[in-house]
Structure formats: structure tokens, C-alpha cells
Amino acid sequence: MKTILYCPGFQGREDDVYHKEFFELARQKGYNIKYVSINWKRTTINNWVDQLEQEILKYNLQDLILAGLSFGAMTSFLAATKNNVSELWLLSLSPFFSDSKFVTHPSKIDLRQVGRKRLNAFKSLNFVNLAQQIKPPTKVFCGSNELPETITQARLVNKFIRNSELFVAKDAKHSLLDEKYLQAIAGNI
């Protein structure tokens, strides 16, 4: 049985109702799923990847799927550049890479919500260079009603990661609570 290590979106917690249906879906499909608890306080993407990699060490890479939502997807994406796991599932991959307007010209809201220290850490993340290091088969999911930048990021993953598939959930939002989003996942995992 394959194990999914799941990284939540920014400031996500294990007890959030947000992930419950996705976890149930994964279990129904025959996967063992483990929530990776990320310490979000005063940490950056580098710390998040380190935390995920501590969990990865506990598993056989051939039986392991990395999955994440938004910033959790970024964390899984970066870990997959160094760990040749069985599969990579990117759910609404955040577009906070070095060439993104969110990083190069952050809004006041981004500065307040994400923070200058995290935004500075994202400046070192060249998406194309990183994407070319990804070896596992990759499934990319996003909703058609997400921010245009998130949809563009999903398409870039599909373009630059050789063994990738893109699934756009029609009329779905940036949410694992969206039934249409879950249906797109259910039909493709």
C-alpha cells in the first residue's frame, strides 16, 4: 500500500475540517495517508521542506507519494527535487516563485499575510530550474475559479515536468471543500 505524505496549505492544522474529505477519499482509494504537521510560525519554505524531509526519511521512496495544497504543494514540489518518490500530487500549487509578481512586487496584503522573510526566501526559487529536477510522475490539480496565477502555475508545471498530467476542475475554487475539486481528484488518483 502506498503512503501519501500530505502537506497542508499555509497555517493549516491537522484538526482542520478542510482536509477531512480529501483524507477519506484517499483512504477509500486504498492509500495510507499521513498528515505532515508544519510549524508555520516564524519559518520559511526552507524550514517547511526540512520538516517534510524528516518525515520522508521514515518511508521507502518507492512506496511514497508527496502531496500538498498551495504552500504545502510548494513544499512537496521542492522536496521532490531531492527525493525520487513514487509520485507527486500538486493541489493548487502556489505561484510564489522567484519570477512571480507575488514575490517581485508583493502587495501590502501579501506582505502582511505571508511576511517579508518568507517572500525573501521565495526569491531563490527559480521554477523552471527546479521543475527540471522533478523525476516522479506528477499530477497537478487546480480549479478553474482560482486566481489566474495559480492556473498559470499549474500549466507551467505541466509544461516543464516531463511526466506530468494537468487536471483543471471546472467551476472549482482553491479549496478541498469544493465538491468539484474533490471529484477531479477522485477521478484521477
What mean pLDDT do residues 37-44 have?
A: 95
Ramachandran assignment for 92, one of left (phi > 0), alpha (psi -120 to 50 degrees), beta (any other): left
Q: Which tens digit of pLDDT belongs to each residue from 103-160?
A: 999 999 988 999 999 999 999 999 999 999 999 999 999 999 999 999 999 999 999 9
- Of 101-105, 147-151, 171-175, 183-187, where does mean pLDDT reach its minimum? 101-105
Q: In the numeric block, which cell numbers belong to residue 166?
A: 494537468
Q: Which tens digit of pLDDT belongs to each residue from 73-108?
A: 999 999 999 999 999 999 999 999 998 899 999 999
Separation of alpha carbons 59 and 48, rounded Å: 18
Which residues are within 8 A (CB) of 97 and not within 5 positions of it... i.e. 6 or more apart?
103, 122, 125, 126, 127, 130, 153
| pTM of this structure | 0.95
Q: What residue numbers bound the domain in which 167 lies?
A: 3-186
- What sign results for the dihedral spanned by CA atoms 127, 96, 38, 73? negative
Separation of alpha carbons 108 and 34, rounded Å: 35
Query: What one-letter code names the amino acid at 19?
Result: H
Could you tell me the CATH number of the domain that includes residue 154?
3.40.50.1820
Report the percentage of the chain scoring pLDDT > 70: 100
Average per-residue pLDDT for the chain? 95
**Number of domains composing the chain:** 1
